[in-house]
Amino acid sequence: MEKLIKEFLHAENLRQTRRHFLNTCTTGLGVAALSSLMSGCFPKKSGENQAMTDPTLPKTPHFAPKVKRVIYIHMAGAPSQLELFDYKPELQKYDGVDCPQEFLEGKKFAFIRGVPKMLGPLAQFKQHGQSGNYISDFMPYLPEVADELTFIKAMYTDQFNHAPAQLLMQTGSPRLGRPSLGSWAMYGLGTENQNLPGFIVLASGGRSPDAGKSVWGNGFLPSIYQGVQCRTGADPVLYVSDPHGMSRDIRRQTIEAINEINRQQYDEVQDPEILTRISQYEMAFRMQMSVPEVMDISKEPEWVRNMYGAEVGDASFANNCLLARRLVENGVRFVQLYHWGWDSHGTDQRLSLDGGFKELCNITDRAVTGLLKDLKMRGLLDETLVVWGGEFGRTPMQENRDGQTLPFKGRDHHLDAFTVFMAGGGLKKGMSFGETDPLGYYGVKDRTHVHDLQATILHLLGFDHEKLTYFFQGRPFRLTDVAGKVIRPILA
């Protein structure tokens, strides 16, 4: 009861603000000022009923979507496309040769200085499936689903450092403050399961991405649309359980009392963040029952866990892939997986292409393949989009530092060419789009920018990326900023 009283007093204090004063001015000037302020911060959307409503309820997209949900697998650190999917036999001929000057003049690199040596592919490549797509032996399981994959091989970005590049890939801007792709999806579509968050994040690899939690943040969108990070284990969401000594009925009554205060405040100021607060209290209460059930992979048959390489109780990438399937199966709109550690500079064994990088492939390849096979087997793949990729690519040169060759084989950050693959509904299966030059340095055919990928993902979800906007600080914002075009040749 003491906490309820404090909550009430706090709410009363919040009401004694300049905005409240202006709203109650009898001259009319205050009301006009408040109206101007509110229209700038919390504008009405066209056709939207401004009455009390749950902002996560399902919404209709601009046109019929090809997919209902997304699983985005981000390999934080940027895996080398030249050891995985972009087969360059010509590069092998130049292994150990000084890098051509045209690759260096006018270019900036994160670490390379002077004239580095070219580095041939360290993996063996074969064509797989009816599509004949090249996949290296670093990925022994992925060839089983080669004909489900759609490769984009001449992707480029504007950023060669990890945090800005991750932000650009996930939020459309290299600077902090923009909503993430998953948040835009939630804002546009809502969620199909009111007992679970519509946007869930699962991270593995020992660390979070370099850009931190901003890559799944809501930016200037109401915070109900931010990603909810879950953990693999017995307590997937911190503090979701009832406090010691508090029964479920008491907690229910507490939430109802708090939300009644929130409703009264919303009636006064119409701030959408108050709706968010109400929804989050309600969601937290419902999650107590739903989250432990969905996150329990022990309920899966052993042969399914084996397909992923998942082990009950592990905090692993394999477990996260299995959880991703369970989450989308239960109506979660957007699942973001992050696996950290792909920054293969060659400074030590862990960061070498034939050491730590190859081990990361072994850790993740089976799980990604298992996820795609499982989704297809359950009839979910046609309505789910799976995206796999990093934030940029790696150079065809071996990285050096201060002109000195490193003791292990690695590649520097590269923004001019990298590979992303997708699978699922609305795509041409087994397709490879885009082409790089014989040494894998530049995109020479069908280049695509990060904003193009974002526009395509939104298109498959049923949105015109130029029209999915949010009014903020005097202008409408969108995920793709003022750029981006749908990659139509890959669409079925």
Least confident of 115-129, 155-169, 283-297, 415-429: 283-297
Per-residue DSSP letter, 491: B
Least confident of 78-82, 254-258, 387-391, 439-443: 254-258
Radius of gyration for the alpha carbons in the chain, expressed in angstroms and rounded: 25
- From residue 268, give the alpha-carbon distance in Å to each of 19, 40, 341: 10, 17, 49
Per-residue DSSP letter, 135: E
**Crossing angle for the helix pair 356-377 and 317-329, to the nearest 10 degrees:** 20
pTM of the model: 0.84
Provide the CA 310 distance to its chain's centre, in angstroms.
22
pLDDT, tens digit, 9 for 90 and up, residues 341-356: 999 999 999 999 999 9
Residues 130-151, mean pLDDT to the nearest whole number:
98
- From residue 50, give the alpha-carbon distance in Å to each of 24, 43, 47, 57, 349: 21, 10, 9, 14, 58
Question: What's the pLDDT at 7?
Answer: 67
The β-bridge relationship of strands 125-128 and 133-136 is antiparallel
Map tokens 């989450």 to a residue: 327
Residues 446-458, mean pLDDT to the nearest whole number:
98
Cite the DSSP H helix spans in 270-355.
272-294, 302-308, 317-329
pLDDT tier at 201 (50, 70, 90 boundaries)? very high
pLDDT, tens digit, 9 for 90 and up, residues 256-309: 788 788 888 888 888 877 877 777 766 666 666 677 788 899 999 999 999 999
Question: What's the pLDDT at 262?
Answer: 81
Q: Which residue has the higher pLDDT, 217 or 242?
A: 217
Question: What's the pLDDT at 128?
Answer: 98
Question: What's the pLDDT at 24?
Answer: 47
The β-bridge relationship of strands 393-398 and 133-136 is unpaired
Residue 50 has pLDDT above 50, yes or no: no
pLDDT, tens digit, 9 for 90 and up, residues 358-412: 999 999 999 999 999 999 999 999 999 999 999 999 999 999 988 788 999 999 9
Amino acid letter for position 454: Q
The β-bridge relationship of strands 418-424 and 149-156 is antiparallel
Question: What's the pLDDT at 41?
Answer: 38
- For the beta carbon of residue 251, count every other beta carbon within 10 angstroms: 16
pLDDT tier at 12 (50, 70, 90 boundaries)? low
Question: What's the pLDDT at 81?
Answer: 98
Question: What's the pLDDT at 279?
Answer: 72
Averaged pLDDT score across all residues of the chain: 88
The partner residues of 372 in beta bridges, in order of sequence, read none
Residues 51-78, mean pLDDT to the nearest whole number:
90
Residue 236 has pLDDT above 90, yes or no: no
- Which run of H or E residues covers position 435? strand 435-436
pLDDT tier at 27 (50, 70, 90 boundaries)? very low
Residue 329 has pLDDT above 80, yes or no: yes
Residue 16 has pLDDT above 70, yes or no: no
pLDDT tier at 326 (50, 70, 90 boundaries)? very high
The β-bridge relationship of strands 334-340 and 199-204 is parallel
CA proximity to 201, closest of 51, 353, 323: 323
CA proximity to 71, closest of 484, 464, 424: 424
Per-residue DSSP letter, 209: -
Q: Which two tokens stand for residue 245?
A: 């000594």
DSSP 406-424: PSS--EEEESS-EEEEEEE
pLDDT tier at 15 (50, 70, 90 boundaries)? low
Are the beta carbons of 198 and 190 closer than 8 angstroms?
yes
Are the beta carbons of 353 and 89 closer than 8 angstroms?
no
Residue 33 has pLDDT above 50, yes or no: no
Residue 18 has pLDDT above 60, yes or no: no
Residue 313 has pLDDT above 70, yes or no: yes
